[in-house]
Amino acid sequence: MPNPHVLLAWELGANRGHVTALGGIARALSRRGARVTFAVQRLDAMRALRPLEDSWVFVQAPVWPGLLVNAGFGGRQPTVTFGDILAILGLRDSGVVEFLVRGWDGLLNATRPDAVVADFAPMLQLAARKRLPVVATGNGFSLPPDHLEAYPPLWNSRPTFPERELLNAINVALERCGRPALARLPEIMAAERRMPHSLALFDPYGDARRDRMLAPILPNWSPSHVAEGDEIFVYFSETAHGAERIYEALARYGSRVRIHVPNLAGTYLDKLRAAGVIFEPRPLKIVDIALRSRIVVSHGGLGLVSMTLAAGLPQLVLAPDLEKRLIGETVARLGVGRLLPWSDATADSIVANIDALCADVNIRRRASQIGRTIAPLLSDDASEIIADSVLSLCT
């Protein structure tokens, strides 16, 4: 098919890694002559893809109510399984499912793609099911296996929301939309082709996965290795609740801290600069971080952790959610850093963990060893493989 039209979509997940990955696939598709439309949760996140291709089109994806501050979903319920995450965002309500599917139906009717790439986009996958070819992508956490009878607990507890209730809500909605029912909740992530991309060591479903795990899509990666820097590099989410805790801690280190936080509020920025903290308005190259830094402090985004660990840098993960907690647990289990759940973090505990990590020669040595092991795995990029697979489905 000449010049096929591909819709690339992102529904869930708070970090920019989803956009970065879709951008890599989009560039590979554009080089092959495909037309590209993005339908994404946050249009402002697309700034991460600059410079943009002139031919790209951007539209707003249907938004799950749990992502909206005043929608009545969310709350403090613990998330133990992938199903729990979807339930808290709205999946437990058949009306939410119905009208998210109807919203995607309208968007598909308006854009008329020949194929779909879905990154953490389960409602799009339901809407496109048996209608359009779908290639599902994402990291190990956001693309769990679809052959399971049920989603396993990802930490030592029972699911908060029984899957039979969630499955019933989905099937009520699908019946209203004239769609066939699902037999199992994990079918929600089924697709013609499933192409996860991540370092296998961070895949929480590694023992059960049947899909081939591709190399991560990390366009900003360049081979590098840690030098004897003394800075503390910090990347954190601007949307984290109670963020003043980390900024209070960082101010105590003054010019030893170099920080990049997108859209950092002016009040925090003024206080940090007054303390001597170096603020970077734009993302830094990994090679520059590696040359200057002693450790990395972050909320545990998989892309940054993967790249800076490959460069040999110890990690402090201040995990705000289940996915980041699992990443932090892996970091701690490997002996290359520490996990501090964000719910437990105080300014004093953040300082104590930074001090301990900076002084730990064994962790620094172990991070260097692990970095040399995983760095070659980042040299490949799954974008080209995924683009070819998408286009092979266009007829």
8 Å CB contact between 207 and 349:
no
* Nearest-angstrom CA–CA distance, 8 and 152: 28
DSSP 8-state code for residue 62 = P
8 Å CB contact between 305 and 218:
no
Predicted local distance difference test score (pLDDT) of residue 379? 87
Angle at which helices 322-334 and 302-310 cross, to 10°: 20
Predicted local distance difference test score (pLDDT) of residue 91? 97
What residue spans in the chain does CATH classification 3.40.50.2000 cover?
A: 5-215+380-393, 231-378
* Nearest-angstrom CA–CA distance, 291 and 289: 6
* Nearest-angstrom CA–CA distance, 231 and 221: 20
Mapped onto helix, strand or coil, the DSSP state of residue 194 is: strand
8 Å CB contact between 197 and 137:
yes
- Beta strands per DSSP E along 11-91: 35-40, 57-60
Predicted local distance difference test score (pLDDT) of residue 74? 55
Closest by CA to 67, choosing from 46, 93, 88, is 88
Angle at which helices 266-274 and 244-251 cross, to 10°: 10
* Nearest-angstrom CA–CA distance, 241 and 213: 33
May I ask the CATH architecture of the domain 231-378?
Answer: 3-Layer(aba) Sandwich (3.40)
Per-residue pLDDT of the chain (395 residues; tens, 9 = 90+): 789 999 999 999 976 889 999 999 999 999 999 999 999 999 999 998 999 999 999 999 999 999 986 555 555 678 999 999 999 999 999 999 999 999 999 999 999 999 999 999 999 999 999 999 999 999 999 999 999 999 999 988 889 999 999 999 999 999 999 999 999 999 999 999 999 999 999 999 999 999 999 999 998 788 777 777 999 999 998 777 888 999 999 999 999 999 999 888 888 999 999 999 999 998 899 999 999 999 999 999 999 999 999 999 999 999 999 999 999 999 999 999 999 999 999 999 999 999 999 999 999 999 999 999 999 999 888 999 999 999 999 97
* Nearest-angstrom CA–CA distance, 301 and 319: 9
H helices present in the chain, as ranges: 17-31, 82-86, 94-111, 122-128, 163-176, 244-251, 266-274, 286-292, 302-310, 322-334, 347-359, 361-374, 383-393
Angle at 11 between CA 7 and CA 89, to 5 degrees: 155
Mapped onto helix, strand or coil, the DSSP state of residue 35 is: strand
Yes or no: domain 5-215+380-393 corresponds to CATH 2.60.40.10: no
C-alpha count within 13 angstroms, C-beta hemisphere, residue 3: 2
8 Å CB contact between 253 and 232:
yes
